[in-house]
Amino acid sequence: MTNDITLWATLHEHLPRKTWVPIEEIYQIVQRNVPLDTEDLGCRGMRLASPHWKRNVRRILHSKHREGALMSRVSQ
C-alpha cells in the first residue's frame, strides 16, 4: 500500500501552484507517477467502489486543506 508521504510528495511535486485542478487530473498525476500495487488498487467492499489509493488521495487533500496547505476553490 502506498503511504501518505509518497502520495503527498507526488502531489506536492506535480500539482501546479495557485491553479484549480479537477480531481480526475489529480488522479492521473498519481497514476503516472506512483507505482500502485495490488493493495492500492483494491476496493474495501461492494458499496465502496473507489480503489484505496483514490480514497487516500482525497483524504490527504482534505487533511492538507484543513491544515491550510491548500487553497480551496472558494477562496480563490
Range of the domain at 36: 4-67
Number of domains in the chain: 1
pLDDT tens digits for range 14-71: 999 888 999 999 999 999 999 999 999 998 765 668 899 999 999 999 999 999 888 7
**From CA 44, how far away is CA 52, in angstroms rounded?**
7
Grid coordinates of 74: 472558494
pLDDT tens readout for residues 1-22? 999 999 999 999 999 988 899 9
In this structure, is residue 60 part of a structural domain?
yes
Reported pTM: 0.85
Cell 485542478 belongs to residue? 21
Cell of 72: 480551496
Cell of 51: 480503489
| Helices 4-14/52-67 angle, 10° precision | 70
Q: Quick check: is 59 in a domain?
A: yes
